[in-house]
Amino acid sequence: MAFELTKISKAFGVKERRRRVLRNFSMQVADGEMVAIVGKKSSGKSTLMNIMTGLLRPDSGTMVVDGRKINFWNPIQTSMLRSRKIGLVTRDALLVQDLTIYENLLLPMGHRFMTGRNKLRRAKEALRSVGMKGFGKYYPGELEDFEIQKVCLARAIMMHPKYLILDEPTGNLQSADVDRYMDLVEILNSSGYTVIVLTHSRRVANHCQRLIPIAATADAKESAKAEDIGDEEPERAPSARPAASTGTGSATAARAAAEDDVRIAAAPAAAASAAPKKASGTTAKAKSAKAGAKSAKTPAKKTAAKPAEPTAEQAEEARARRYEQGADNEEEDYE
């Protein structure tokens, strides 16, 4: 067998808080197979994935890859296992957001003695293999979840490994994209990769040739059905980001098209909101015209002209006249 685990056990914690995650788990995977390790959530799938990639040492048990026993206490051997034999895809993309897709794919090849041209050619081939040709210069934030997961698959095959280990690869995908993604994994399996999928989804497990249940007991037997796997993959709401076109399409153009659709949809509402304002403006003009007509019908009030101010001579004459009249009145009183 190409990949073999024998009586792998792992526990965490100490004394009364010690919890056993794996107990005597065994499996055998032949070259070119596509198998699913299935189990409910928190059943130890991620722990098993870390052990298979050499990131975690088991408490007991052995692992043999291509006829060679792996020494978990030898960091050089485990690192060589990951860099040459295994391509890993996890639920989280773990892409560097400030780097382009090409730059993200070239990160695992930093220690390889290859020219930059050859590295770039391999990155283009990997993207072409997963249907992402032409997306190398985009940034992760410009892609949809389905496209990002395909980029992770391209990164896993960059080093031309023999084994692909996928830990809940469809956990962040919409329901409509699950089968499309697993169809792509089947194509890679048919091209020569040995695929091991760890999942709790019946839908994902049904794409594999053989199912291996994971349990904390030693009497777990292999099953050819996905009846007792666990929870189905939850239905996810559509992503809020605008959908980017696949293949040679442009994510930026798709975003612009989505913005145009939003503007077109908002136009009737804007027109409806502008109509009351226009009506109110017409009413105001009518009121002002009516007020103008009323003022035109009302006759203007006649204002009395102010008398001209008398000159100094006229004032002196008026004063003398009043004096004479006053003197005459006094004489009449005496008489």
Regions of the chain where pLDDT drops below 50: 216-228, 233-235, 237-249, 254-286, 295-304, 327-335
Q: What is the pLDDT of residue 305?
A: 52
Q: What is the pLDDT of residue 269?
A: 42
Q: What is the pLDDT of residue 219?
A: 41
Specify if 289 maps to a domain. Answer: no
Q: How far apart (Å, rounded) are the C-alpha atoms in residues 24 and 129?
A: 37
Q: What is the pLDDT of residue 314?
A: 76
- Predicted TM-score (pTM) of the model is 0.66
Q: What is the pLDDT of residue 180?
A: 95
Number of domains, the chain: 1
Specify if 248 maps to a domain. Answer: yes
Specify if 243 maps to a domain. Answer: yes
Specify if 7 maps to a domain. Answer: no
Beta strands in the chain (DSSP E): 3-12, 19-29, 34-38, 60-65, 68-69, 86-89, 163-167, 194-199, 210-213
Q: Residue 135: give the domain boundaries.
A: 32-44+84-257
Give 27's contacts (C-beta < 8 A, 6+ positions apart).
Answer: 3, 4, 5, 35, 37, 212
Specify if 21 maps to a domain. Answer: no
Residue 116: give its domain's CATH number: 3.40.50.300
Q: What is the pLDDT of residue 2?
A: 87
Which is nearest to 51 in space by CA: 109, 12, 95, 94? 12
Specify if 250 maps to a domain. Answer: yes
Q: What is the pLDDT of residue 228?
A: 45
Q: What is the pLDDT of residue 221?
A: 45
Q: Is 200 helix (H, G, I), strand (E, B) or coil?
A: coil
| Number of Cβ atoms within 10 Å of the Cβ of 88 | 20
